[in-house]
Amino acid sequence: MAFLLDRPSLQRLPRFPLSAAAFTTLSSAAAFRHALLAAIASARQRIYLTALYLEQDEAGQEILAALFKAKQANPALDIRITVDWHRAQRGRIGESQDSCNAAWYREECSRHAVELPVYGVPAQTRELFGVLHLKGFVIDNQVIYSGASLNNVYLHKQDKYRFDRYHLLDNAALADSMVSLLCQHFFNDEAVFRLDKPVPSTRSIRKEIRAFRSRLETMHYTLPPEQTCQHGMGVTPVVGLGKGNALNRLILQLIAKAEHQLVICTPYFNFPMAVLRAINRALRRGVEVTIIVGDKTANDFFIPETEPFKLIGALPYLYEMNLRRFAKRRQAQIESGKLNLHLWKEGENSYHLKGMWCDAQHILLTGNNMNPRAFRLDLENALLIHDPEQQLQAQSHAEQQHILQHTTRISHYRQLESVRNYPLKVRTILTRLSRVRIDRMLNLML
């Protein structure tokens, strides 16, 4: 990806031309689910779904049933699903390991007369050290981009939802580029296996996985010169894996580029040091920085005190500790209005938003959590929207206002709970971790 290695200005990045009419923002998880199902039903050529996981629940079953129906109606339709290898072969954190999504894929495929390939991509030999975190559903020439995976809460199939960002881009060149990357680097690699068929053990393919990860670190989206431009409205797809990758550098470039206003969404307040430094420099330049993060009770790992405690339930408190420390050190900038920290909370729903807006000229759509894990371990991607004439300003403003309607601005760091007020079990765990500095290691891994 030479154009990023040389760090040209953001304005000169190659991009696929994009019109304002071809970019649509959806406001809710339910709207996202309806749009995805409608696109699947109307597909004529291809459906490529890429997500961390496709869950065995009501929403996952609805998606899989729609895919089988589309394939049966049109056998020539090219359908492929790509998920993380490790996540597909275990249960959800804290739940029984007796069943897994991969077994469900095999059972469903055995019940139908048509094949529906489901590829398991191992970004690392163990899930703890890296997962497939690419986003983007390509259906014919449309790209549906969100940080969401596919299950009940992400698709608001039942009573609760996990709030994310949702965008539709009608752009054949972008869709081709995203499909090309999958075909070139995943589907025929010796480390990638179809989960709808019997698979080898992870232990038996460790050598292949390590070699595969090395190849992933150098891959990039193809932007043919005849299809791209360097001026005007457009979209640049970016992929990254490992320390110092192209996507990491792009995120830091955006923060460094900001002159007036920078808005950042992240579900887990745990910025890498490089991002923290870039934000500090932006504040010193006089940039108004807004950071929107979920309240600890809106974190997908939060466990109410009325339910049995599990170790994973300490994570939301660890993130709040990070946020309180960050706010305390920047209290003067909070009071001056240069730093705006917003906590999102709406009922018992959870918050999963990622991405950035920079000076109303650049919009970053990504599944990157902007934490040390995303910057070092996981395979991530993003779409950078260039909007030099601010044709999407009204749409961006409406999206931001929709996000902010369920937030509270932190005017003083003491609005955030301190450790001494946490539940006893949480307080005990975090105190012990802090004494031996394991909390710092956890921040790097989670």
Residue 225 per-residue DSSP state: G
By DSSP bridging, strand 362-366 and strand 142-146 are: unpaired
Helix, strand, coil share of the chain (percent; to 5): 40, 20, 40
- CB 402, CB 166: distance < 8 Å: no
Please report the pLDDT score of residue 8 as a whole number. 52
Of the ranges 86-95, 287-296, 379-388, which one carries the lowest mean pLDDT score?
86-95
Burial call 304-324: b when 16+ CB within 10 Å, e when fewer: eeeeeeeeebbbbbbbbbbbb
Beta carbons within 10 angstroms of residue 354's beta carbon: 25
pLDDT reading at 420 higher than 50: yes
Residue 93: pLDDT over 90: no
* Bridge partners (DSSP) listed for residue 249: none
| 3-state DSSP of 99-145 | CCHHHHHHHHHHCCCCCCCEEEECCCCCHHHCCECCCEEEECCEEEE
- Evaluate if residue 362 carries a pLDDT over 90: yes
What is the mean pLDDT of the segment spanning 37-59? Answer: 98
Residue whose C-alpha is closest to residue 359's, from 5, 23, 10, 20:
10
Q: Over 50: is that where the pLDDT of 2 sits? A: no
pLDDT category, 5, cuts 50, 70, 90? very low
Name the percent of the chain lying above pLDDT 90. 87
Over residues 223-237, mean pLDDT = 94
Query: What pLDDT, on a 0 to 100 scale, did the predictor assign at position 3?
Result: 39
DSSP 308: -
Q: pLDDT grade, residue 4 (50/70/90)?
A: very low
Under DSSP, the state recorded for 152 is: T
Q: What is the per-residue pLDDT for 6? A: 42
160-184 residue pLDDT tens:
999 999 999 999 999 999 999 999 9
Residue 14's beta-bridge partner residues? none
Tell me the domains of the chain and their CATH numbers: 13-217 (3.30.870.10), 243-376+378-445 (3.30.870.10)
- Whole-number pLDDT of residue 433: 74
What pLDDT does 429 receive? 86
Cβ of 115: how many Cβ atoms within 10 Å?
13
- Contact predicate 283/333, CB 8 Å: yes
Average pLDDT of span 2-7: 41
Q: Where are the beta strands (DSSP E) in 204-359?
A: 234-240, 261-266, 288-294, 339-344, 350-351, 355-358
Among 238, 67, 44, 15, CA closest to 140: 44
For the chain, give the percent of residues with pLDDT over 70.
94
* Residue partners of 111: CB distance under 8 A and separation at least 6: none
Q: Classify residue 329 as exposed, middle or buried by CB count within 10 Å of its CB (0-12, 13-18, 19+).
A: exposed
Residue pair 191/124 in contact by the 8 Å Cβ criterion: no
- For the segment 21-41, the average pLDDT, to the nearest whole number, is 98
Kindly indicate the confidence band of residue 98, based on its pLDDT and cuts at 50, 70 and 90: low
Per-residue confidence at 94, pLDDT binned at 50, 70, 90?
very low
Enzyme catalytic residues: 133, 164, 352, 380
- In this prediction, residue 52 carries a pLDDT of 97
Reported as a single tens digit per residue, the pLDDT across 374-418 is 999 999 999 999 999 999 999 999 999 999 999 999 999 999 999
